[in-house]
Amino acid sequence: MTTQPLPASSWLNAPAHHAWLASEGQRLLSFAKASRLPDGFGNLDDKGQLPANAVAETMNTARMTHSFAMAHAMGLPGYAELVEHGVVALSGPLRDNAHGGWFAAPHAVDGNTGKAAYLHAFVALAASSAVVAGAPGAQALLNEAIQIIEQFFWSEEEGVMLESFAQDWSGLEAYRGANSNMHATEAFLALADVTADTRWLDRALRIVERVIHTHAASNRFMVIEHFDARWTPLFGYNEDNPADGFRPYGITPGHGFEWARLVLHLEAARLQAGLATPDWLVTDAKGLFASACDYAWAVDGAPGIVYTLDWNQRPVVRERLHWTHAEASAAAQALLKRTFDPHYETWYRRFWEFCDAHFIDRIHGSWHHELSPQNQPSSKIWGGKPDLYHAWQAVLLPALPLAPSMASALGRGCYVTRW
């Protein structure tokens, strides 16, 4: 890896830029505090209020617990109790006491008793971050999350996470998903740091080898999201439901950016651990970023990144989602740190200028989660403002190294630039 410094003119070296990021982070955190419910954390509306029928979903509870744990680890008062609340919720009403693992909602009140890899990856991430934050009960939660992943989800034969099961762990779904394995990669990086077990880095590499280096690399670095049980791409999957929030049809450029960043974190983590680290990791990260920028930025004539494309790179769902742009910014800063190429500085600034102009809501707080093709607030796919995780990580990452993982870096005081 190159060791030359970034130029003094880089925003990543600018104290004013880091002060702006810190201020934005405090705004995001303050808004998110209102999401607390008795059974975890719920989804806030556009004005930062909990609807009367709000439910503490496992996904949001895990993401909030992880986010609040990072706030506590970096020395911000007022978040330790929220981390503890998240651990209690994930250890209680959101957990399946009969068969183990986690439901999507408390006591499966939504009727969904299945067990999804996507959710379990976030539970593991939340638990690992809560351990870093020193929350009571976090280690027991982490131990159980690891046990469930190893017993049911991790496939040593395939080198990936299996997708989902029925409540009693029967009925393995005949589907393999890139999205769940992407978030498993994120969780495995954190598990490697918290447990000091490099097997998680080996598992993360196996996922990346299959999903990115095998499939995406042969598809012009456009991430293929959906596969059957033999890892044959399902190019027509959800064509009749293209705007699905988790399994949309076609190409999801935001995931190209997210994968690019995670691939660089994996490279850095393996180098830091003294493990064999293939040269193609940085090459693939560059390819993923370039593909997402080339095909998705302003593809319909307006600035911003569309939600999805078809296999001919034509826009399908033209809405702009906040998480996509948060991940684009995060990927640009990671590549800038890794390569020192000013090309990534240009994109980093472009993405933040767009977020500042269009996503940040200075009237009601937080970020608009979705914009129309005309870059006006909308709610076709995601209503309200339930998600702290993507934007909060985007403002944290520029101050952190590529390894260790985020909560561990904050807990150890491993900063590239201090605010």
Burial 356-395 (b: 16+ CB within 10 A, else e): eebbbbeeebbbbbbbebebeebeebbebbbbbbbbbbbb
pLDDT on residue 2:
46
Which residues, in sequence order, are bridge partners of residue 255? none
CATH number for position 354: 1.50.10.10
Pair of tokens at residue 212: 């990115």
Residue 412 lies in a domain: no
Report which secondary-structure segment, H or E, holds 105.
none
- Catalytic-residue membership of 255: yes
pLDDT on residue 418:
61
Q: Is 96 exposed, middle or buried (0-12, 13-18, 19+ CB in 10 A)?
A: middle
Residue 166 lies in a domain: yes
Cis amide prior to 15 (ω within 30 degrees):
no
Binned average pLDDT, 10 residues per bin, the chain of 419 residues: 75 97 98 98 98 96 98 98 98 98 97 98 99 98 98 98 98 98 99 98 99 98 98 98 94 98 98 98 98 98 98 98 98 98 98 98 98 97 95 98 98 84
Judged by DSSP in three states, 346 sits in helix
Residue 171 lies in a domain: yes
Judged by DSSP in three states, 262 sits in helix
pLDDT on residue 299:
98
Count of the separate structural domains present in the chain: 1
Report which secondary-structure segment, H or E, holds 44.
none
- Of 403, 310, 277, 397, residue with least CA distance to 18: 397
CA–CA gap between residue 381 and residue 324 (Å, rounded): 13
DSSP labels, 77-104: TT-HHHHHHHHHHHHTTTB-TTT-SB-S
- Of 59, 37, 58, residue with least CA distance to 49: 37
Residue 49 lies in a domain: yes
Residue 1 lies in a domain: no
Looking at residue 240, its amino acid is D
- φ, ψ (nearest 5 deg) of residue 12: -70, -15
The C-alpha angle with vertex 287 and arms to 289 and 63, in degrees rounded to 5, equals 45
- Of 101, 256, 111, 231, residue with least CA distance to 164: 101
Give the pairing type, strands 176-177 and 226-227: antiparallel
Cis amide prior to 404 (ω within 30 degrees):
yes
CA–CA gap between residue 301 and residue 73 (Å, rounded): 42
Of 255, 322, 325, 369, the active-site residue reads: 255
Of 66, 213, 325, 390, the active-site residue reads: 390
- Catalytic-residue membership of 18: no
Range of the domain at 19: 11-405
Which residues contact residue 304 at a Cβ distance below 8 angstroms, ignoring those fewer than 6 apart?
297, 298, 320, 325, 354, 358, 371, 375
pLDDT on residue 1:
53
Which residues contact residue 43 at a Cβ distance below 8 angstroms, ignoring those fewer than 6 apart?
35, 50, 51, 54, 55, 57, 60, 384, 386
